[in-house]
A = this chain, B = another copy of it.
Amino acid sequence: MKVVYKERELSRTDLVDRTRYSAFLVSKMCDELLAAGLIRETGLGNSTGGRPPTLLSINPDIGRVVGVHIGTFNTRIVVTDLAGEALAFRKVPSHVEVGPEIALASLISEVEATLAGAGVELDQVRGIGIGISGVLERSTGTTLFWPKVPQWTNVPVKRRFEQRFRTAIEVEDTPRTMALAERRFGQGSQASEFVYISVGAGTGAALFLRDQLYTGADGFAGEFGHLMVDAQGPLCSCGNRGCLEATLSASALIHRAEAAVSQRLSTVLWRLTGGDPAKTSIELIGQAAQEGDRFSCSLLREAGTFLGLGLVGIINLLNPRLIVIGGSLAMAAGRFLLAAVEEAIRDRALVNQATELRVRLSELGEVDWARGAALLVINQALEISVLDRLSRQQNVEGD
């Protein structure tokens, strides 16, 4: 079932090739899944001589899933079918600054309102997947630490949702849920060795190695923002100097652009913000760069160079086939970053590691980020049902 889902549509013969199970076993499993309504026949494939094969795909209507992407500033909520297609979406402020209790209660109401708006009953919901920007203990779904909002230390996000919803709750950090979306809906769909970089309020990475999300021994793999790229660089929130995140994150750039506005270093930014430093945003920096503002262009170019230096370490160490850069900074000003990133990689990465590498900007948007969170549930649900079936199958054969 997992394979049917991954490939979207394929025949029984394809399934034998992919799973290496016998034709007999595949056929029996497909019959069972069809009988249970979990997959459906969607048409005829191309014949290679004989009768054209029947194509199978997941039945998306056997359940609904919620995806919640909790960012530092905004939360995106989506209701999807089991194929991950969006049925309803809303974007609301995260209000993390009011503290976890009130903010989570408010987000839970927003989830309920989104479901109600889509006409989805709670008992149709197979699960809720949550992506959150803080540092997570994955086993319990608890935020250990959220650098930008210290009140969010040891917040049991998963438990709060479980108390309200009687369904499976999965929690993961946002670079990973965004990477799941990229892998399924975006440019990562063909690369088994793929690194996703998220550049937003903070900077994070998610690693797809041998076609699986790699989480490390304790679930903390992918911390990319604290790679040292400039020993003389600014102090970082982690206490070190010169971390990538301290020079590259949206917060770091806004901080410098605010100073430029108050000191009138950029006439374009001054005009776009109406001279109010508090109005500075990543979107306006991106817009100023589009208009050719030298300050904004060089700010973004420098950020891209540091991002590139950090990526060189990942490229040399992991030799990925594809790097996709996403997040709010990439959405607002990606092309200014990308040119500098590519130059730094050309200058500094080792030749063999970089020859086959492609670096791309994500083309996914905020709805997709929330769909990525929904994939936490969808992938899990399908995995469990196929494993269940397989182990039952094997016991029967072994007895």
Contact = CB atoms under 8 A, between A and B. Distances in A.
Interface of A: 20-25, 135, 144-145, 191-193, 205, 207, 209-210, 212, 214-224, 226-232, 238, 240, 309, 312-314, 316-321, 347-348, 350, 352-353, 355-357, 391, 394-395, 397-399
Given A193-B216, A214-B209, A317-B221, A240 B22 contact: no
Contacts of A228: 229, 309, 312-313, 348
B314 A352 contact: no
User: Oligomeric state, in number of copies?
Assistant: 2
Given A216-B193, A313-B228, A221 B319 contact: yes
24 contacts: A20-B394, A22-B394, A24-B398, A144-B352, A145-B352, A205-B317, A210-B210, A216-B319, A217-B321, A218-B353, A218-B355, A219-B319, A223-B316, A223-B319, A223-B353, A224-B317, A226-B316, A227-B313, A227-B316, A228-B229, A228-B313, A228-B348, A231-B232, A313-B317
Nearest to A395: B22
A317 B222 contact: yes
A217 B356 contact: yes
Contacts of A212: 210
Nearest to A309: B228
Nearest to A242: B231
A220 B350 contact: yes
Closest 3 interchain pairs by CB? A22-B398, A216-B319, A217-B321
Contacts of A220: 319, 350, 352-353
Contacts of A227: 313, 316-317
B240 A348 contact: yes
Q: Which of A144, A347, A348, A357 has the most CB of B within 10 A?
A: A348
Nearest to A312: B228
A318 B352 contact: no
